[in-house]
Amino acid sequence: MPTNRLEAFSDGVLAIIITIMVLGLKVPTGHHLSDLVHTTGIGLLTYLLSFIYVGIYWNNHHHMFRLVRQVSGGVLWANLALLFCLSLFPFTTAWVDDSRFERTPVVIYGLNLLGAAIAYFVLQTVIIRQQGPKSPLREAVGADLKGKLSPVFYVAGILSALLIGGRVGVGLAEACFVAVAIMWVVPDRRIDRVVRQHQTLD
């Protein structure tokens, strides 16, 4: 099965997830700047972080599927599992915002990030297995340093919120989540390189 419709469907779902999060921003009841800061300030920050995360996943998904020509049923379901995890972002983001960075919502947000990372890893593994021994995706992914570091950071964030707690623990957790986002915003040049090599071979 060719990949174009799977890509179109994933693009649609990601476009909707990234956009409907704005519906979670609460419009201030007053009309002063302080009302905006008080009502929507935290919401804007959490929205920005989740927007960047969905953007990262779209970007990586986009890169990954450039090395995929055929998809099996297993890839379809692994892809849907990833989309399911990402579709929970509007919900977990809204809870972090509503609770103003309380411990449990931040932990759940971290678990959501961790779940998405695992689903992405599973998708990647299913594709590599399907492509067989000379998988171009396996070659492109290589040591996958970022992919291995991300869950470590998520777990560190979750644990610091759980074990340390309070302003400090939650702040550390958020710092971990922001750090992973910054790490990924730098685009992945390995796949670009492999794609160029394969195009040269063609």
Residues found near a second copy in the complex (CB under 8 A)? 1, 5-9, 11-20, 22-23, 25, 27-29, 31-33, 36, 40, 48, 51-52, 55, 58-59, 62-63, 66, 72-74, 76-77, 80, 83-84, 87-88, 90-91, 94-95, 98-99, 102-105, 108, 185-187, 189, 192, 195
Minimum Å gap between C-beta 139 and a second copy is: 18
Residue (16 or 175) nearer to a second copy, CB: 16
3-state secondary structure (DSSP) of residue 28: coil
Minimum Å gap between C-beta 175 and a second copy is: 20
Minimum Å gap between C-beta 42 and a second copy is: 13
Give the span between the Cα atoms of 12 and 95, in whole angstroms: 24
Residue (80 or 172) nearer to a second copy, CB: 80
At a CB cut-off of 8 Å and minimum separation 6, what does 163 contact? 169
Q: Which residues pair with 70 in a beta bridge?
A: 2
Minimum Å gap between C-beta 151 and a second copy is: 22
Decide: 98 and 42 in contact? Cβ < 8 Å: no
Q: Which residues pair with 2 in a beta bridge?
A: 70
At a CB cut-off of 8 Å and minimum separation 6, what does 77 contact? none
